[in-house]
Structure 1
Amino acid sequence: MKKIKIVHVLHSVGGVDVSLRQILHNLDTENFENIVIHGDSDTDKEFVNKDSKPLVHYLLPIYREISLLNDLSSILKAWKIIRKEKPDLIHSHSTKGGVIGRIAGFLTGTKVLHTPQAFSFLSAESKIKEYVFLKIEKLLSKGNTVLLASSQSELNRAIREVGFPKNKTDLFNNAIEPIEKIFDLSIPKTWPDQYLCTVGRPCYQKNIEELIQVLYELNKNVDIHLVILGLGHHADHIKQVENLITKLNLKDKVTLLNWTTREDVLNIISKSKLYLSTARYEGLPYSIIESLALAIPCVVSDCDGNRDLITNDYNGYCIKENKTLEFSNKIGVLLQDEKLYDEFSKNAKNTFEDGHNIYKKIKDLESIYRDQLK
């Protein structure tokens, strides 16, 4: 039987990179062939399939920032690659991957599955940018494109705000392999043993400033440390975060860490008391899925993605945006009630096994790929 050939197009950083690698590691190699088109400076780690064999990949000038020259160059080069490779399907991931993949799909007549991992217009800090980004999403939703959402919230938003017809949407929740081993840290441990953690660069989306305010309130009653992982690329709010830490006299209560290996991230999450997120929006965040897999309860903001994973009074708490005192109080409850903590921990692991174990879920994605070619 002829293999189904899929070209994946993406800016391969953060959760988007994790998402594709988890898919490639688990797709049936007897029935699927994968090719990757990604940015020339986003990752130097090769992409491999289920049999640990390197995949054909192409490098293009795909960057987070908008650049007419680079973006046009990427579209033209992607068009040429797709004409050459003749895939059965394009699967685009991320905002920039979606722009390039969908336009190249239109030019070549190739069907496109698009997974936003959070829509671009949600990142806009001004109404004008939000309007422009939403218009672009609406335009690119036309034609031979099907929205493959990473969460139910993302799917609902695609229909309600972007305008995708319901029959041109599908759902594959982000999923990962079970975490069977925790590796030693490759970086020095400079923080105390009792700590909370979050993963996310200081930026508009992650809203780390709110998390610092939560920590300030929390430390009025509980002596606890916060580890923030993810400084580095696109951390455009780092100065605001550092200034707020200084203003609130929290320098000895916060550790800021640069991007490090996924193994280090899992180590730090696994030893944390709780995982926290004050994000304004998400697709379906891998750091929370990883926390659930590690049986770590979570206290998070009630936004797209977060609310799909965390259920109040079951595996954590979902708090409305800017409810700083409530956020702080719920953390305090879990830190002080050992019985409740243990119950939430068990439920966290069950949430992962029931909905986000890719060993159990990969067949669903394989069926989605096949269905798009009928």
Structure 2
Amino acid sequence: MLKTKIIHILHAVGGVDVSLRLILANIDSEKFDSIVIHGDSDNNEPFLNDKSIPVKNYPISIIRDIKPVKDYKAIATANKIIKSEAPALIHAHSAKGGVIGKIVGKMNNIPVLHTPQAYSFLSAESKLKKNVFLGLEKFLSRWNNKILASSNSEKNRALNEVGYNKERVLLFNNCINAITEIPNLSIEKTWPDEYICSVGRPSFQKNIELMIEVLRELKEKKPNIHLVLMGVGYHAPNLEQVKSLISKYNLDSNITLLEWTKREDIFNIIKNSKIYISTARYEGLPYSVIEALALGKACVVSDADGNRDLIVENKNGFVIKEENSSQFSKAILELLEDDNKRELFEENSLKLFNEYFNIRNTIHTLESIYKTETEKKS
């Protein structure tokens, strides 16, 4: 059987890296020949297919920041690889992967699918920077490419802000394998048995400062409230600001900050928590919240792209608008004090996960998209 060759281009870090690895581990390698072009300073673990066999990969100079010389070198190198491998389709992931993928796709007349995993213009803290990033996305949208959105919110951004027409915007939700085993912690447990939790590096995107404000308000009504915050050791530009707020509000005994730890430990901590929370300003479709659903957790989250696609108001959690810390703390307190409601939300989270975000149940959708897009080319 002749396989369809797909080349993936990305800066393989964080959720973008997780997304591709899950795709490769679940897509049928008898039908699709997957090749990966990724940053040479990315995660150096091998990319494995559904038979746990490493796929061919090319490390090149893909980086997160805009660096004209390195970016030009990455485009030139990727172009050589594309010419040599002659794939039927390019699937570009992340902002930088999207730029490179769209350019080399145009140069070689190869169709491109781009999964932004949260558009870069959402990360801009200034209006000027946002306009530059958005302008670049609009310019590149004129070429032979389509958006393969990771969430409905991302799909709507592509339609309403970037300007793609509906025929050029597809959807494949980020999704994961069911979490069936929860191993014991490999680290020492230093927090109380009753706690709430979150995964999020202190950064503009994750808005951990708001989370600390929420914790301060919760402490006024529930002095023993405790938050376990995971992932603070990975690219955390706002860590000192967060620590300063914790000290200012006298919350040192109410929060545990954990650096990035084993994925299995994160599952254990989420599973044994009372509630999962997120205060993010934007997401693609966040894996940590998907994992919370898979682990049957009630959630309280900000009304951000990604979050609102996973949490259905008053069904499996609460969605808080306008960064309202008082509403956040009120919703968390309600679920901590109402066991029946929390348990109902937990059941609903697991149902939603299995229907929409279990990759075993959804990978056929991606395979169908790949097949359709490559058949159009031929």
Q: TM-score, normalised by structure 2?
A: 0.97
Task: Return the alpha-carbon distance in structure 1 between the equivalents of residues 243 and 63 of structure 2.
Answer: 26
Structure 2 counterparts to residues 166-185 of structure 1, below 5 A: 166-185=166-185
Match of 2:261 in 1: 260
Q: Deviations over 1:302-326 (max 9, x none)?
A: 1111001101110000000321111
SS of residue paired to 1:354: helix
Match of 1:247 in 2: 248
Larger mean CA deviation between 16-25 and 207-216 belongs to 16-25
Match of 1:314 in 2: 315
1:54 and 2:22 are equivalent in the alignment: no
Cα pair 1:278 1:321 within 8 Å, conserved: no
Task: Return the alpha-carbon distance in structure 2 between the equivalents of residues 37 and 261 of structure 1.
Answer: 26
Task: Return the alpha-carbon distance in structure 2 between the equivalents of residues 61 and 264 of structure 1.
Answer: 32
1:234 and 2:254 are equivalent in the alignment: no
Task: Return the alpha-carbon distance in structure 2 between the equivalents of residues 64 and 232 of structure 1.
Answer: 18
Larger mean CA deviation between 18-27 and 58-67 belongs to 58-67
Task: Return the alpha-carbon distance in structure 2 between the equivalents of residues 106 and 140 of structure 1.
Answer: 10
1:270 and 2:260 are equivalent in the alignment: no
Structure 2 counterparts to residues 347-358 of structure 1, below 5 A: 347-358=348-359
Structure 2 counterparts to residues 130-169 of structure 1, below 5 A: 130-169=130-169
Match of 1:300 in 2: 301
**Structure 1: tracts of 5 or more residues without a match:** none
Cα pair 2:234 2:259 within 8 Å, conserved: no
What's the offset of the Cα at 1:186?
2.6
Larger mean CA deviation between 164-173 and 96-105 belongs to 96-105
Give the AA of the match of 1:266.
F
SS of residue paired to 1:114: strand
What's the offset of the Cα at 1:264?
1.9
Task: Return the alpha-carbon distance in structure 2 between the equivalents of residues 186 and 66 of structure 1.
Answer: 38
Cα pair 1:149 1:155 within 8 Å, conserved: yes
Match of 1:111 in 2: 111
SS of residue paired to 2:38: strand
What's the offset of the Cα at 1:106?
1.3
Structure 2 counterparts to residues 321-340 of structure 1, below 5 A: 321-340=322-341
**Structure 2: tracts of 5 or more residues without a match:** none
Task: Return the alpha-carbon distance in structure 2 between the equivalents of residues 185 and 77 of structure 1.
Answer: 43
Q: TM-score, normalised by structure 1?
A: 0.98
SS of residue paired to 2:300: strand
1:201 and 2:201 are equivalent in the alignment: yes
1:100 and 2:134 are equivalent in the alignment: no
SS of residue paired to 2:318: strand
Task: Return the alpha-carbon distance in structure 2 between the equivalents of residues 182 and 72 of structure 1.
Answer: 45
Task: Return the alpha-carbon distance in structure 2 between the equivalents of residues 206 and 111 of structure 1.
Answer: 33
Task: Return the alpha-carbon distance in structure 1 between the equivalents of residues 256 and 78 of structure 2.
Answer: 41
SS of residue paired to 2:156: helix
Q: Deviations over 1:84-118 (max 9, x none)?
A: 11111010111111111111111121111000010
RMSD over aligned Cα, in angstroms?
A: 1.0
What's the offset of the Cα at 1:23?
0.6
Give the AA of the match of 2:247.
T
Q: Alignment length, in residue pairs? A: 374
Give the AA of the match of 1:329.
K
Structure 2 counterparts to residues 75-86 of structure 1, below 5 A: 75-86=75-86
Cα pair 1:36 1:55 within 8 Å, conserved: yes
Q: Deviations over 1:141-191 (max 9, x none)?
A: 121110000111110110100011111110001111100111222322222
Q: Deviations over 1:194-240 (max 9, x none)?
A: 11111111111100000000011011112211111112343111111
SS of residue paired to 1:241: helix
Match of 1:369 in 2: 370
Give the AA of the match of 1:68.
P
Q: Deviations over 1:47-106 (max 9, x none)?
A: 100011111011112222221122111111111111111111010111111111111111
Cα pair 1:280 1:321 within 8 Å, conserved: no
Match of 2:346 in 1: 345
Give the AA of the match of 2:264.
E
